[in-house]
């Protein structure tokens, strides 16, 4: 009998509980679990529920970093308290949040989060109107920023230019033609991931854009774009922006997680 087994046997004897000692490591593992459960039961009998929780937590694996750092619902308050217009004024009546869905039925202007983000992961669902246009901008200054394009590729004029089509990094990186897009009027699931210099766009579970900010490829595209005069574009720490492009659009389940 080794020291661990002796300790277990001694403890169970003091509690008046039986214990079987085995040289089998799996059996020892089971006995350790029973020991934890017995400690918990003993703690409860003494009215010490906190100790029971400590024992239960200590007997399992540590949570993963993703579990510890949960995403934040950007509409957790079910109103616009976490949002403003770009100029800092209250969100106008053209944006409506109802039954968990944000819609833009009328003119109101772009809206932004009160908090700023640089390294983050944003997940969201969206659908666009026929011939409609919108977008999710990030790492912003004012209305300038990187943009996940939201568009009806077939009927909006911007659909003629590859890097202006849906899920593209607008004006910079085109999403592939075979991207997994849903028909207009149906919900799409998307993700934006910006961590350090890496920028990624995901559409319905598939990565459709990936580029390294500051790389040779980045600067080649940047210098050919309409943003080329904006120093540091794409590296700023700024609010997340939802674009009012004069067309009806719907968003839901906007969740952000800092990285």
**Fold exhibited by the domain 67-258:** Jelly Rolls (2.60.120)
What are the residue ranges spanned by the domains of the chain? 3-60, 67-258
Torsion of CA 151, 90, 120, 171, to 10 degrees: 30
Q: Could you read off the pLDDT of 229-254 as tens digits, one per residue?
A: 999 999 999 999 999 999 999 999 99
Integer angstrom CA distances of residue 42 from 19, 30, 36, 38, 60: 16, 18, 10, 6, 19
Q: Which of 18-27, 100-109, 119-128, 166-175 has the lowest mean pLDDT?
A: 18-27
Residues with Cβ within 8 Å of 232's Cβ and at least 6 positions away in sequence, in order, are none
pLDDT surpasses 60 at 155: yes
Write down the pLDDT at residue 23: 43
Q: Could you read off the pLDDT of 176-215 as tens digits, one per residue?
A: 999 999 999 999 999 999 999 999 999 999 999 999 999 9
How far apart are the C-alpha atoms of 15 and 67, rounded to whole Å?
36
pTM for this prediction: 0.74
């Amino acid at each position: 009998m080794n020291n661990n087994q002796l300790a277990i046997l001694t403890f169970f004897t003091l509690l008046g509980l039986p214990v079987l000692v085995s040289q089998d490591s799996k059996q020892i593992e089971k006995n350790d679990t029973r020991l934890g459960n017995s400690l918990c039961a003993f703690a409860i009998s003494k009215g010490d529920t906190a100790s029971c929780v400590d024992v239960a937590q200590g007997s399992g694996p540590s949570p993963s970093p993703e579990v510890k750092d949960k995403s934040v619902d950007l509409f957790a308050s079910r109103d616009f308290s976490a949002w403003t217009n770009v100029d800092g004024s209250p969100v106008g009546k053209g944006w409506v949040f109802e039954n968990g869905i944000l819609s833009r039925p009328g003119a109101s202007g772009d809206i932004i989060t009160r908090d700023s983000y640089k390294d983050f992961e944003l997940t969201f669902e969206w659908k666009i109107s026929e011939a409609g246009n919108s977008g999710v901008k990030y790492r912003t200054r004012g209305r300038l920023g990187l943009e996940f394009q939201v568009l009806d590729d077939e009927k909006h004029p911007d659909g003629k230019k590859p890097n202006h089509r849906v899920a593209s990094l607008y004006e910079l990186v085109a999403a592939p033609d075979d991207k997994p897009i849903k028909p207009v009027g149906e919900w799409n699931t998307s993700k934006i991931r910006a961590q350090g210099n890496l920028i990624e766009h995901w559409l319905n579970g598939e990565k459709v854009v990936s580029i390294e900010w500051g790389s040779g490829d980045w600067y080649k595209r940047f210098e050919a774009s309409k943003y080329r005069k904006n120093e540091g574009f794409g590296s700023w720490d700024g609010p997340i922006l939802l674009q009012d492009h004069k067309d009806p659009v719907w968003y839901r389940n906007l969740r952000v997680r800092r990285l």
